[in-house]
Amino acid sequence: MSKTWFITGASRGFGHSWTKAALSRGDKVAATARDISTLKDLAEEFGDALLPITLDVTDRDAAIAAVQQAHQHFGSLDVVVNNAGYGHFGFIEELSEAEARAQIETNVFGALWVTQAAVPLLREQGSGHIIQISSIGGVGAFPGLGIYHASKWALEGFSEALSNEVSSFGVKVTIVEPGGFATDWATDSAVHSEPNPAYQPIRDARAAQRGAAHRPGPDATVQAILAVVDAENPPLRLLLSGQAFEVARHLYNQRLATWAKWEETSRSTDQS
C-alpha cells in the first residue's frame, strides 16, 4: 500500500535521497526546500506524485501552512520527516548570540513547528509516523559542535516525550541518528564561527578524524529508512551506520561505568 510523505530539507543529501526512493516505489511526496528549483529533476521524473513546496522551517506560520497544503493536496499524510537542518561549527567560547539562536531556530523550532502542524492531522486519522532526523551528535557531544549538539539533544528530548503523548492515537515516532555520511553537512551547508586560535589544535585534530573516516553516500540509508517506515512496530531510535552504533555503544559503556563508580554518592542523597 502506497504512502504519502512530507519531507523537509528535500533539496539534497538525505532528504533528496529519501524523496526519490519514496517516489520510485510509487509513494507520493510533499517535498519542501528553501529553493524548489533544486527539486526540478524529481518533478520532471515523477510528475504529480511530487508536490514541491517552498519552505523556510523557521517560519512557524509557513510550516503550518505547508503541512496543511500537503494534507489537502493528497488527502492524508502517512510519514512526516523532519530532515531540514544544518551543522554549526564553533567552540562554545566562539559562538555569537545570533549564531546560537539561528542553530536552535532551524534544528529545534523548525522541527517543532512542523511536528505541531502534523500531530492534529495524524491524531485525527488515527495513524501516521513522524521521523525526526537527529544525529549520533544527539547521543554524544564532541568538541567544536556544542550548539549543534544542543539542538539535537533538544530534538531528541521533545521527540521522546512526543512518542509517549501520541502512541495511544496510533501515531508513531522514530528518532534517526546517522553517523558520518558523504553529504554537504560539514562542507557547503555548514556554518562556522570566527575561530579563536586557542582552540586550533583541537580543531585540527577533529578535522583529521573526520577526514580519515569512511563516509558512504546518503543513498546507502534508503533501505534502512524504508524498513523503519514500513515496520509495524518501528523503533523509537535508529542508529544509521556501524560507526554510529560503535560510538553509541562506547558512550553508553562509559556512562554506565561512571554512574556505577559514583552510585554510592548518588544513593547517599536518599538518606533523610
Query: In the chain, what are the domain boundaries?
Result: 4-242
What's the per-residue H, E or C state across 1-45? CCCEEEECCCCCHHHHHHHHHHHHCCCEEEEEECCHHHHHHHHHH
The whole-model pTM stands at: 0.95
Catalytic residue among 3, 20, 152, 172: 152
Residue 186: the pLDDT is: 72
In CATH, the number for domain 4-242 is 3.40.50.720
Question: Of residues 135, 148, 151, 241, which has the active-site annotation?
Answer: 148
Q: What is the pLDDT of residue 214?
A: 79
Q: Is 212 a residue whose pLDDT tops 70?
A: no
Reported as a pLDDT band with limits 50, 70 and 90, residue 101 is very high
Average pLDDT, stretch 145-170?
Answer: 98
pLDDT of residue 215: 84
pLDDT of 2 strictly over 90: yes
Residues facing residue 33 across a β-bridge: 54
Least confident of 57-71, 168-182, 199-213, 243-257: 199-213
Q: How far, CA to CA in Å, does 73 sit from each of 30, 33, 68, 126, 242?
A: 9, 17, 8, 19, 39
pLDDT of residue 253: 98
CA distance 256 to 130: 30
Answer yes or no: 134 catalytic.
yes
With a cut of 80, say whether residue 242 has pLDDT above it.
Answer: yes
Active site residue 189: no
Mean pLDDT along residues 148-158 = 98
Contact 172, 129 (CB under 8 A): yes
As a whole-number percent, the residues of the chain with pLDDT over 70 amount to 99
The C-alpha cell that represents 26 in the structure block = 510509487
Q: Of 127-141, 159-173, 182-196, where does mean pLDDT reach its minimum?
A: 182-196
pLDDT band for position 175 (50/70/90)?
very high
pLDDT of amino acid 208: 86
pLDDT(17) > 80: yes
